[in-house]
Chain A
Amino acid sequence: MAAKKVLLLLSCLAGITAPAHAQTLAHAEVTAIVRVPDFLSVRVGETTTIGSHARRVTVYVTANRRWQLSVAHACGTCVMRIQDGEGRGGNETPVTIEYEWPEGTAPPDPAQIHYLLTPA
């Protein structure tokens, strides 16, 4: 790439003298440019048991853009509630998910629960 070059020609016609104070003699502009991709990540945090047939899981979202969190699971009889399932860019934004399963049935397998983070 060609260098940016600046020419400055100053004074010296008879009768013209350079000013005593500092003056701009040359000037050049260059560009700094960057493309910022989007980042979305989710980390599963602590799990606490609520009563005999409910569980609360906190997941943490890190993103540099708006996002939406959803949960996929194979527990057809479970009830899931997501608090603050949408958000803006931030680091380790907590999202609380509560599971309830019918009394007398087995709780959902945590390995079968998937957290889906998508751009909003």
Chain B
Amino acid sequence: MTRPLAAIVMCLALAMPLHAQSNCTDSGVTCSTASGTLLINITIGRALFLTVTPPTTALTAPTAAHYDAGFAETTGPTTAIRSNAPWVLAVSAASAVWSATDTQTQPARTNKPAEDLLWAASPAGPFVALTISPAAIASGNASSGATAASLFYRTLYSWALDTPGEYSLQVVFTVSSP
């Protein structure tokens, strides 16, 4: 379902100091050539196209070893930007806590903080906790769709806190002007 996004707005102003044609008659008088100036003014607005794939990332299901280590890692989404002007890409969490759905008799943890999902621009890190405040992850100039950033996730797990269940977190990508 690809729908090209382009924003081009043109403001066209025409100045038309066209002068009236000289009179020509059939009396043999030489006609003068009509002349004028046409001024075209176009204003191109900012055009920007952000792509994030995939829309859903299935995080690595934790094992006992992940619990012991305190985290599990997953390759996250990739972003691409087409823009006709400089841009800054930031990432944040849509909410302060994960959505939790019970899958066992034990209730899922309802207060798992967004900070339990960390992101990095490379597999080796450094990893930064996701918060509801946008954090810049990449920036660039006008570009035609090269990858802006690939994210890598690290999800934290605690034996004492993270009960069984299905957990999800909305991750927000925003692009702004520098």
Question: Contact residues of A with B, CB < 8 Å?
Answer: 1-14, 18, 22-39, 41, 62-66, 88-91, 119
Contacts and interface: CB of A to CB of B under 8 A. Distances in A.
A64 B178 CA distance: 45
B43 to A, nearest CB: 5
A11 B155 CA distance: 40
Interface of B: 1-3, 5-7, 9-11, 13, 43-62, 64, 67-68, 74, 76-77, 87-88, 94, 103-106, 108, 117, 153, 155, 157-178
B61 A34 contact: yes
A29 B61 contact: no
Contacts of A62: 64, 67, 159
A24 B160 contact: no
Given A36-B164, A38-B106, A6 B50 contact: yes
Contacts, number: 200
B61 A3 contact: no
B159 A30 contact: no
Given A32-B169, A35-B103, A119-B105, A9 B177 contact: no
Contact of B106 (A22, A32, A35, A65): A65
A102 B65 CA distance: 42
Given A32-B59, A36-B103, 10 more contacts: A3-B54, A5-B49, A23-B176, A25-B87, A30-B171, A31-B57, A32-B57, A37-B164, A41-B64, A66-B106
A64 B106 CA distance: 10
Tell which of A5, A9, A23, A36 has the most Cβ of chain B within 10 Å: A36
B166 A33 contact: yes
Contacts of A89: 158-163
Nearest to A6: B50
B22 to A, nearest CB: 34
B171 A5 contact: no
Contacts of B170: 29-31
A3 B106 contact: no
B62 A29 contact: no
A3 B53 contact: yes
Contacts of A88: 160
10 cross-chain pairs, A with B, having the tightest CB-CB distances, nearest first: A7-B5, A12-B9, A9-B7, A12-B45, A34-B59, A2-B1, A38-B164, A33-B168, A65-B106, A26-B50
Contacts of B104: 38, 65, 119
B76 A32 contact: yes
Contacts of A3: 1-2, 51-55
A5 B11 contact: no
B44 A12 contact: yes
